[in-house]
């Protein structure tokens, strides 16, 4: 498979630099040449300071990764507890991702898109509607509209600020839940 395998990766999640867009592809020479040909026509190169930072990151010692793993576990646990406290249902605890896929509280009469729109407009907190992560040919698509994806690859300060900002939309949905009962 070596002659037809392409391995891709990036610095985005491992080094918490999701906006930098620094990545790479490893492949057989003929495939790498085709990738390079397409790449130069579609994108610019990463700024020089980002490339320098990438070199430092990629030569990190193993203790960096242990520290990163611990930090992400703490951030994951923080957001899981926060979402559970707000009434979200979490079916799976992330083990190797920086995303939490949470189901809106069953009593909330709001879709994933409406919730995320409200969250962005009224709290300044970003999340992603879950419906885009499901196959569209499933028989029952109503549950697709009940999930939201949250990222926890942010600083502790950012996560704590988001937790505070989320209180208003959550309280608004809880108030509406009593009205619709």
Whole-number Å distance between alpha carbons of 72 and 14: 10
Six token digits for residue 150:
């949250």
Whole-number Å distance between alpha carbons of 34 and 52: 26
pLDDT digits (tens, 9 = 90+) for 18-58: 778 888 899 999 999 999 999 888 877 778 898 899 999 89
pLDDT digits (tens, 9 = 90+) for 66-123: 998 999 999 999 999 999 999 999 999 999 888 999 999 988 889 999 999 999 999 9
Residue limits of CATH 3.90.1150.10 in the chain: 63-165
CB-based contacts of 68, cutoff 8 Å, min separation 6: 14
pLDDT at 152: 93
Segment (H or E) for 140: none
Q: Residue 179 pLDDT more than 60?
A: no
Residue 59, CA distances (Å) to 15, 70, 157 in order: 12, 19, 27
CATH architecture of the domain covering 63-165: Alpha-Beta Complex (3.90)
């Amino acid at each position: 498979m070596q002659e037809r395998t392409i391995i891709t990766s990036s610095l985005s999640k491992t080094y918490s630099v999701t906006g930098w867009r620094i990545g790479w592809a490893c492949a057989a020479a003929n495939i790498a040449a085709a990738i390079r040909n397409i790449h130069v026509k579609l994108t610019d190169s990463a700024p020089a300071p980002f490339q320098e930072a990438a070199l430092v990151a990629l030569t990190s010692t193993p203790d960096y990764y242990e520290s990163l793993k611990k930090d992400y576990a703490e951030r994951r646990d923080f957001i899981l507890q926060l979402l559970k406290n707000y009434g979200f249902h979490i079916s799976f605890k992330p083990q190797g991702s920086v995303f939490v896929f949470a189901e809106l509280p069953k009593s909330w009469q709001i879709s994933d898109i409406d919730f995320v729109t409200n969250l962005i407009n009224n709290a300044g907190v970003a999340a992603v509607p879950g419906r885009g992560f499901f196959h569209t040919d499933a028989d029952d698509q109503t549950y697709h509209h009940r999930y939201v994806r949250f990222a926890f690859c942010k600083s502790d300060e950012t996560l704590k600020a988001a937790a505070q900002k989320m209180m208003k939309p959550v309280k608004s949905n809880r108030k509406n839940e009593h009205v619709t009962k």
